[in-house]
A = this chain, B = another copy of it.
Amino acid sequence: MMRILIAGGVAAGASAAAKARRTNEDAEIIIFEKGKYVSFANCGLPYFIGGEVPELDDLLLVTVKLFQERFRIEVRLEHEVVNIDPAGKTILVAHGGVVTRESYDKLILATGCAPVIPPVPGAELPEVHTVSTITDAQSIAGELDGAQKQVVVVGGGFIGVETAECLAKRGVPTTLVEAQAHVLTNFDPDMVAPVERQLKRLGVKLRLKKGLSGITGSGKVEGVTLEDGTAIAADMVIMAVGMRPVMSLAKEAGLALGPDGGILTDDRMQTSQPDIYAAGDITDSLDLVTGRQARNPLAGSANKQGRTAGACAAGGELSYRGAQGTAIVRVGEITIARTGLGEAAAREAGLNCFVSYTSTRNHASFYPNAQYMILKLVVEEQTGRLLGAQAVGREGVDKRIDVLAAAVYARMSVFDLEQLDLAYAPPFSAARDPVLMAGMAAANIVRGVNRSVTTAQLRELQKDDSYQIIDVRRSDEFLCGGIRGAVNIPIDQLRERVGELDRSKKYILYCSEGYRSYLAGRLLTLLGYDAANLSGGYRAYTMDV
C-alpha cells in the first residue's frame, strides 16, 4: 500500500490530498499541518476581520472530520515536518515537543509562506499581528470587538491593502504605511492612483515612502515610528510587509531550487527528488508569458499545482502548465486587476514592447450607471502579441481582466483582441466591449494608423518646444481643467481651423477618453501634419475612474 505524506494542509496541500485520494483509493494519505487548522481560506481573512464574512467557520473549507469521513485522509494538526531524508524516504515530524519519524513512498511539500516580521523594536508586543492564519484573524477580531482601537497596517501589498480596506469599512481608524512610493507595487505605478484615492476616501490615512522604524509602547502597543521620525498613535499593528516561502525543509533536503528561489518543479510538480513533489507558494514553475521558471504565490496556482502533485504522486498523470500572475483587489468601489507582464516587468524580461491605454465604460453608455475603467495593455512591438494587461475601475473590471487573462494564455495578439465575439446586451457591455476597444487602439498602433503617446511620454515632450498640445474637447470641457500648455480646438472645428496649425510643429492631441483625439489625429495625419494622440485621454492622464 502506497503511503503519501503531505507537509502542509492549506490550499496546495489540501488540494493535493483530495486529488491523491480520487486517484488512488488504496493509498494511505496523511497531512501534517503545523497550524491549528487545515484547508482554510486564507484569502478570506481580511473579510472576516472587516466583518463581511460573519463567521470564522465559513472560512474552514474542509475540516479534519470531513477529510477523514469523505476522503479517508488523516490530518495531524500542530504537526510540523522538520526534516526530510530523501535517501531513506523518511521525514521527522515535531508535535508537542516530541519528534517522530515517518516513512513515505511519496512526499508532497506544500508548506506555503510565512509572514515576514521585520526585526524592529517592539515587534514582539502582543498587539502586533499578521494576517496569515485563522488564529491571527481571531486575535485581531477579538481585540477590535467592542473596543475603539486605532490600527496601523504596515505594508501596502495585497494583504495590507485588503486589510486596511476591511478595517476602514468596519469603522476602525486605520493608517497604512508603505515604504515604496505607491501601494500595490506588483501593479504598474501609474495604475494605482485610483486605489490610493479610494483608500483615502474610505478614511485610511496613507503614509507612503516611509518605512517602519519601530513600534512603541511598554507591555502593549502605543504607536509606531517611521524612518523619517513620524510618530503615529496606535493600539494595534498589522504586519503585512510580505510573505516568505518556507524553504528550510527543501534546502536541507538538497532539492534543486529555481531562479526565483522556489523549489524547481516540472510540469508534474515533481522536484529534483523523484519521490518528492512540491506545490504552492514554495515552488518555482513556468511563467506562461516569459517561458521562464518563476514563483507565482497565489491561490489559483496553489490549487492547480496541488491537484497536479496529488494526482502524480498517487500514480496518476496530470500536468500543470504554468501561471501568468493574474490578480485582483477590491478597494471600496474600486477594483484593480492584472494579468501577464506589467510594463516594467516586460522590459526587464528583455521584451520589445509598447503600452496602450483606453478609457471606456463597463456597459452601453445609454444604459444607467455606466462606469469608466482604464485598461492598459502591454504589447510586443511588431507582432502585437499581448504580453499583459492591467485594469482599474469599478463594475466589470473583473470580467475584462479574465478575458484578457484568457487572451494572454492563448498567446493572442491585439489583432485577435479586436475580433473577439463577446456578449453584448446593454446592461452588460457595449457593442464594442472595453476589451475590443483596447484591442482596436493597440492594433491600430501596430498598424501605424494610431500614433499615440502615453502620459509618461507626454510629460517628457512637454519640455520640448517643437511640440504643441491641442485639447480637442468642447470648450466647456476645456474650461473645467486640462493639460498645461494645451490650446483648445474642439474636434468639430478642427477641419475649418486647420489653417491655424503650423506644419513645422508636432502636435499632441487629447480629449477625455482618447477617442475624439484619435479621430483628430487621423484627420491631421491624413492632412499631412505630424500628429499623435494621448493614449486613453485625460482620464488616463489623471487616472480618473
Binding site for B on A (CB under 8 A): 11, 22-26, 41, 43-44, 47, 52-53, 58-59, 61, 66, 69-72, 162, 288, 298-304, 316, 320-330, 335, 337, 339, 364-368, 398-399, 401-403, 405-407, 409-410, 412, 416, 418-429, 431-433, 435-436, 449, 491-492, 495, 516, 519, 522-523, 526-527
Contact = CB atoms under 8 A, between A and B. Distances in A.
Copies per complex of this chain = 2
A7 B69 CA distance: 69
Given A52-B368, A69-B492, A406 B398 contact: no
Given A41-B364, A69-B492, A405 B419 contact: no
A298 to B, nearest CB: 7
A364 B44 contact: yes
A527 to B, nearest CB: 6
Nearest to A72: B495
B431 A25 contact: no
A46 B436 CA distance: 25
Nearest to A521: B22
A41 B519 CA distance: 21
A439 B443 CA distance: 30
A364 B43 contact: yes
A534 B230 CA distance: 62
Nearest to A363: B398
Contacts of A339: 421, 423
Given A43-B431, A368-B53, A398 B399 contact: yes
A434 to B, nearest CB: 11
A336 B390 CA distance: 28
Contact of A422 (B288, B300, B422, B527): B300
A411 to B, nearest CB: 8
Given A22-B519, A25-B527, 10 more contacts: A44-B426, A298-B424, A327-B423, A328-B429, A329-B425, A330-B425, A398-B423, A402-B422, A402-B433, A405-B422
Given A339-B423, A423-B327, A409 B416 contact: yes
A288 B527 contact: no
Given A25-B523, A303-B431, A431-B303, A421 B364 contact: no
Nearest to A55: B366
A175 to B, nearest CB: 23
B25 A526 contact: yes
A379 to B, nearest CB: 17
B304 A522 contact: no
A303 B432 contact: yes
Given A323-B421, A416-B409, A431-B299, A70 B330 contact: no
Contacts of A492: 66, 69-70
Contact of A43 (B59, B326, B399, B425): B425
A407 to B, nearest CB: 6
Contacts of A320: 419
Contacts of A527: 25
A425 B328 contact: yes
A59 B366 CA distance: 6
B398 A70 contact: no
Contact of A406 (B58, B71, B368, B406): B406
A43 to B, nearest CB: 6
A325 B367 CA distance: 23
Given A410-B412, A427-B330, A53 B300 contact: no
A49 to B, nearest CB: 12
A325 B423 CA distance: 9
Contacts of A304: 418-419
A366 B495 contact: no
Contact of A367 (B47, B328, B368): B47
Nearest to A328: B423
Nearest to A320: B419
Contacts of A519: 22, 70-71
A129 B495 CA distance: 43
A467 to B, nearest CB: 23
A524 B515 CA distance: 60
A422 B326 contact: yes
A447 to B, nearest CB: 9
A76 B9 CA distance: 70
Given A53-B368, A421-B339, A406 B399 contact: no
A340 to B, nearest CB: 9
Closest 6 CB pairs of A and B: A410-B410, A328-B423, A25-B526, A58-B366, A399-B399, A406-B406
